[in-house]
Structure 1
């Protein structure tokens, strides 16, 4: 079950259509792998709890780890307003603190979304967020896809010169998969998030259009070659 249709009860973060699509498609990808029944989820660098609240609404028990106290307060306030406070917990700490903070705890799912491209010590962070994940549990990694940039420069910006320069960027997805293998994680499935939406000339706010676009994006998320040039890469790995 997903929260398709962009449930208005959860639209409390002032998200634009593209932002909502990112969360909806990422969630749909992840739920293809999540087992039945409530899961114990750790959302690393989960900020204001957008994804955590959505998962809590589906019945999962979610802990948000983030160093920003103000963001965590927003997450808790939102959970309380939706009667989800009993399923959403917050811990103020950084990703590298996860092994110590959660020593002795095991999670079924760990989310690490839009974090790794901000840090230099990616392998160290990956090792830290894997520490509280149980054997057989799922790790979800999301980040900007460098292979999208040439397409965006050529199609949306009409700048072929910039597209050529973007081709020389160092892609990170293969490196992340290699790092996961070094850390003992070998079963990795790749998805794309927002395969075509960022290439549209304008985002229509019509609900019927957005519903159809969402359906298209979910269908494309695991399709080759579309997933390779999506705006975001999404890796779901089993420990």
Structure 2
């Protein structure tokens, strides 16, 4: 995975990274502590974990892949944050076999719900790992972006199939097991006891713009990043985003 701080990779990660960074900064001020305990479920090689650790926070990454965790360890060491990053083998369904319940100020659940058998259980576990008033950052594949991408590629039957399929899949060859609408994600989060603070459309344009144009046209990358940021919070663009990001805060105990 790429670092969200690198310019080319920022086309895919910039919106989420800026929103997450701001949320962690607010949490630091509210908690009166410079270092937060952050859990990254399905965090893989540290795409977000390492930059979060660079901010001074303690990050635990839970991922089922030993190879990803090995790469995470190496990456954290190269970034000089090895003492603040811990990798643990596991998954969202067995989360509390490997981490503490209610032990984190923030939980990242990025690119996980698409692949689990029970998304609702996955969200509940992520929320249960939070301390009271903890921050949840949830990122998942968006239905509309896939439909639009298939249609623009000339695969109209597949685009229609994704629209009608309960899981949002365009066919047997679809590598993504499940996609969501913004309303579906917001409902999952709300039912798990989280007050939704914001919903963002991610990669609204980035996946549709030819890479050669961004790489060769002067100023194109910066302009596209600004466009992505401007469109991210506008509900009109949520329906065509490749990914959807939900940011919320855990309600007080018993408020589900």
Q: TM-score, normalization: structure 2?
A: 0.79
- Report the Cα offset of residue 79 of structure 1: 0.9
The equivalent residue for 1:198 is 207
State the SS of the aligned residue for 2:43: coil
* Structure 2, gaps ≥5 residues long: 29-33, 169-179, 251-256
State the SS of the aligned residue for 1:65: strand
Residues in 2 aligned to 1:128 and 1:22: alpha-carbon distance in whole angstroms: 26
Asked if the contact 1:41/1:62 (under 8 Å) is kept, the reply is: yes
Structure-2 change in CA distance of 1:60 and 1:148 (3 Å): same
The equivalent residue for 2:159 is 163
- Report the Cα offset of residue 144 of structure 1: 1.0
- Report the Cα offset of residue 114 of structure 1: 0.8
State the SS of the aligned residue for 1:198: coil
Residues in 2 aligned to 1:142 and 1:134: alpha-carbon distance in whole angstroms: 20
1:43 corresponds to which of 25, 30, 40: 40
Asked if the contact 2:101/2:128 (under 8 Å) is kept, the reply is: no
* Structure 1, gaps ≥5 residues long: 8-16
- Report the Cα offset of residue 101 of structure 1: 2.6
2:98 corresponds to which of 96, 101, 112: 101
Residues in 1 aligned to 2:65 and 2:88: alpha-carbon distance in whole angstroms: 10
Asked if the contact 1:22/1:194 (under 8 Å) is kept, the reply is: yes
State the SS of the aligned residue for 1:197: coil
The equivalent residue for 1:83 is 80
- Report the Cα offset of residue 49 of structure 1: 1.0
Stretches (4+) displaced over 6 A: none
1:23 corresponds to which of 2, 10, 13: 13
Residues in 1 aligned to 2:4 and 2:100: alpha-carbon distance in whole angstroms: 35
Q: Considering only aligned residues, what root-mean-square deviation do their CA atoms show, in Å?
A: 2.3
2:187 corresponds to which of 170, 175, 178: 178
Residues in 1 aligned to 2:14 and 2:56: alpha-carbon distance in whole angstroms: 16
The equivalent residue for 1:6 is 6
The equivalent residue for 1:57 is 54
Asked if the contact 1:191/1:222 (under 8 Å) is kept, the reply is: yes
Are 2:229 and 1:218 equivalent residues in the alignment? yes
Within 5 Å, give how 1:137-148 maps onto structure 2.
137-148=134-145
- Report the Cα offset of residue 198 of structure 1: 1.2
Structure-2 change in CA distance of 1:109 and 1:71 (3 Å): same
2:131 corresponds to which of 125, 131, 134: 134
Residues in 2 aligned to 1:236 and 1:175: alpha-carbon distance in whole angstroms: 14
Structure-2 change in CA distance of 1:132 and 1:164 (3 Å): closer
Residues in 2 aligned to 1:21 and 1:217: alpha-carbon distance in whole angstroms: 8
- Report the Cα offset of residue 219 of structure 1: 2.2
Question: Which stretch has the larger CA shift, 23-32 or 158-167?
Answer: 158-167
Residues in 1 aligned to 2:249 and 2:6: alpha-carbon distance in whole angstroms: 28
The equivalent residue for 2:247 is 236
